[in-house]
A and B are shown apart, each in its own frame.
Chain A
Amino acid sequence: MMSDKKIAPILACRSLSKHYGALAAVDKLNFDVRSGEILGISGPNGAGKTTLFEVISGLDPATSGEISFRGHNIVDFPPEQICHMGIARTFQLNTAFDTLTARENVLLASCFGHHNLLFPGFKFNRSALKRADEALDLVRMTHKRDAVARDLPVYDRKRLMIAGALACEPKLLLLDEPVGGLDFQEINEVIELVEIIRHEHSLTIILIEHVMRFLVALSDRVMIMHQGKNIYEGLPEELAKDPTVVEVYLGEEAKHLKQLMQ
C-alpha cells in the first residue's frame, strides 16, 4: 500500500508521557500510524506497551503530550468518548462480562460503543442487533452465542473480545497480545481473522504481541519499545538486523527471526 506523505496519519503521538511517580512508563513517545496500515508493537516486558494502549484508549490519562486522532487531540477525553470517536481495543488479560452470554457481550458493544446513545430505550435497535450478530459470526462464535462468558475457554473469550471491538465499527483497532497463550492452530486462525478484518472493514490496526510469528506475518511496520521509548520503527524484515533491538529484546531469538523472514 503506497503511503502518501501528504495525507495526515490517523493517529499521531507527540511527546507522549505517562509517569507513575518517578517511573516513566511512557517516555516522550513520538510515532505516527498511517490510515489502513497494521502497526506491530513489541518489546520486553515493562516497556510500556500496554500502558501506551491504556493512555490512547483513555482508561489511564497521559501525564503530558498529545495524541491526535483523526485531527482531534484526545488526550483528555474519557474512554467512552474515545470509543465513540472510533477507537476500540482488546485487553491483555482475557476480559469479558462474565455473567452475560456471548451474544450479550457483543450486543453491549454494538449498542453502546458504536455511537453516543443518548436514550437507550427499552428495546434494542435493529442495526445494533445486526452488528452484534455479524461480529459474532465473523469470529465464528455464533453457535456459542447463548453460552455464559464465565464458562467459555480462553480462546473463545479472546475471540469474544475481538467481536466486541468490531461491533463498535471502529476506525482504529488496538489489539493487546491477542494470541498470548494460544496454540499453533489457534494462532493461525487469529492471523486469518485479522487479515479478513483488515480487508473487509478498512480499519487501521495497532497490535502488541510477543509472538514474533504473528507480529511479522501481519505488520506493515513494526515499532519496538523499551523503557517507555521508541527504539526501533521500521519494516519487520529489518527488525532482526537492528543491533539495539537484538541487544535489548531479541537476543538469541534474532537468529530464529532471521530464519522466519527468509
Chain B
Amino acid sequence: MIDVMSNPRSRDPIFGGVLLAIAIIIPFLDPGIYFVKQLTLLFIWTAAVTQWNLVFGVAGIWTLAHMVIFATGGYGTAMIGLYLDWSLWVGLPIAALCAIFISYLIGVATVRLRGPYVAVLTLAIAVAIYALILSDSECFTYDELVCYQFSGGINGLHRFGDFGFKELLGFKQRFFGDYYLALAVLAFGTAFVIAVVRSPFGLAFRGLRDNEKYSRSRGISFTKYQILVFVMSGFFTGLAGGVYAGFFKTMGSSVVGMPLLLYLFTMMIVGGRGYIWGPILGCGLLMLVDDLLRTQAEWRTVVFAVIIIVVVLFMRFGLAGLIEQLWHRYVVQFFRLRREERERSMAAK
C-alpha cells in the first residue's frame, strides 16, 4: 500500500480515475442545470490551464499568450460553422490544428527571449489580438442592412451552430452533451500532460526550466524543445476553445481580454505551477470562491487579491505543492510506520 501511496506513478492514475468517475456520475445525481453548466465551464477553463501549465510551469516559459491559442480554436470553430456552414464537429478538429500552428508561431517568436521578456512579448501579442478583434469594423457580410464583421468585432460571432445536443440527447439533457464533451477534452488533455511529463520530453522541458546552460551542455537543443512544448500544448487548448464556442454559441474578444487572463493565471498559480494536478485544484477552488461570491460581486476582487497574496507569500508551491508536502508528512509516514510495526511483530513471533 505504501508503494502505491508514495509513488506518483501509481498515485496519479488512481487519483485521476477517482476524479473522472465522480465527474461522470454527477449529472445523474440531478444537481440542476446551473451546476452542470458551471462545471462544464470549469472543465473548459481547466483544460486550457492544464496545457498552459505544461508550457509555463513544467517547461518554465513565461508565456501570457496562451488564450490566443484558445481563441484560435474557438474562433476557428465558429468561423468554419458560420462561413463554410460545416458542422462544428468537423470544424472543431480543424480549428484545433490551426491552434497548433498559431502555437508554433508564438513559440518561434519567443525563442530568442528569456524569462520576463517572454512574458512581455506574449502579453503584447495577446493585447494586439484583442485590439485587432475589437477594431474590426469593416463589414464582411450584410444581413438585411445589418453589418457583420469578419471576426465579429465588438459584437462577437453568433449563430454559427452548435454541437447538436438538443437533437442528439433531447431538450432536457442537452447540456449533458457539452458537459461530457468538455470533460473528455479535460480528461484526455490531462492524460496527455501526464504522459508528456513522465516521458523524455518532460525530462527535457524540466531540465531547460531548471538550468538552460546545463541542459544544453548535456545535449538538449533549447530552440527545438522550446518550440516543441508550444506545439504540443496547442491541440487540447484549441479543442477547449472550440468546445467553448459550441457551448456558449457565441465567440467574443473577451477570451483574449485581460480580466480572463488574470483569472486563469491566478488559477494556475494558486493550483501550483508545474504540478500535474495544480490546474484542477486551482480552477476548482477559484470557481468555487467565485460562485460563493456571486451575490456579493464587490467582494470578488478583494477576495481574489487576498488569495493571491496568501498563496504567493505562504504557499509558493500552490495547493498542489502543499498537498504533496502534507501527503508525504502524514499519509506516507502513517503507512510506513504501520509497515514497520507489522514487520516488528512478525519478527517477534
Residues of A near any B CB (own CB < 8 A)? 57, 59, 78-80, 83-84, 88-89, 91, 95-100, 104, 107-109, 111-114, 116-117, 120-124, 164, 168
Contact = CB atoms under 8 A, between A and B. Distances in A.
B195 interface: yes
Interface stretch (B69-77, B127-135, B217-225): B217-225
A104 B203 contact: yes
B211 A95 contact: yes
B214 A80 contact: no
A108 B216 contact: no
Contacts of B274: 99
A157 to B, nearest CB: 12
B198 to A, nearest CB: 8
Nearest to B214: A95
11 contacts: A80-B219, A83-B216, A83-B218, A83-B219, A97-B206, A97-B215, A104-B206, A108-B203, A111-B203, A122-B200, A164-B218
Majority SS at the chain B contact face: helix
B204 interface: yes
Contacts of B189: none
B200 A97 contact: no
A120 B210 contact: no
A109 B207 CA distance: 10
B199 A168 contact: no
A98 B199 contact: no
B201 interface: yes
A159 B40 CA distance: 50
B97 to A, nearest CB: 20
Interface in B199-257: 199-201, 203-204, 206-207, 209-211, 213-221
A168 B200 contact: no
B206 A89 contact: no
Given A120-B200, A120-B201, A123-B200, 8 more contacts: A97-B211, A100-B203, A108-B204, A112-B220, A117-B200, A122-B195, A164-B218, A168-B218
Contacts of B210: 97-100
Contacts of A79: 216-217
Given A99-B210, A100-B206, A100-B207, A80 B216 contact: yes
Contacts, number: 89
B219 A97 contact: no
What are the nearest 8 A-B pairs in CB distance?
A: A120-B200, A113-B219, A112-B219, A122-B199, A97-B210, A113-B218, A83-B219, A79-B216
A108 B207 contact: yes
Contacts of A95: 211, 213-214
Contact of A84 (B196, B209, B219): B219
B316 to A, nearest CB: 13
Given A122-B195, A124-B200, A114 B214 contact: no
Contacts of A84: 219
A80 B221 contact: yes
Given A95-B214, A97-B214, A120-B200, A78 B207 contact: no
A164 B211 CA distance: 14
Interface string B169-208: 0000000000000000000000000011011110110110
B204 A112 contact: yes
Contacts of B195: 122
B324 to A, nearest CB: 12
Contacts of B198: 122
A126 B219 CA distance: 18
A113 B214 CA distance: 11
B203 A107 contact: yes
A117 B203 CA distance: 13
Given A59-B213, A108-B215, A117-B200, A97 B207 contact: yes
Given A121-B199, A122-B195, A123-B199, A99 B206 contact: yes
B228 to A, nearest CB: 9
A168 B216 CA distance: 13
Contacts of B220: 80, 108, 112
B201 A112 contact: no
A111 B214 contact: no
A95 B217 CA distance: 11
A83 B215 CA distance: 10
A83 B217 contact: yes
Contact of B219 (A89, A96, A168): A168
- Listed residue (A84, A117, A120) with the most chain B CB atoms within 10 angstroms of its CB: A120
Contacts of A108: 203-204, 207, 215, 218, 220
Contacts of A122: 195-196, 198-201
Nearest to A110: B218
Contact of A121 (B200, B206, B214): B200
A30 B172 CA distance: 83
A115 B195 CA distance: 23
Nearest to A106: B218
Nearest to A150: B210
- Listed residue (B195, B196, B204) with the most chain A CB atoms within 10 angstroms of its CB: B204
- Listed residue (A96, A108, A117, A164) with the most chain B CB atoms within 10 angstroms of its CB: A108
A117 B195 CA distance: 19
Nearest to A98: B210
Contacts of B204: 108, 112, 120
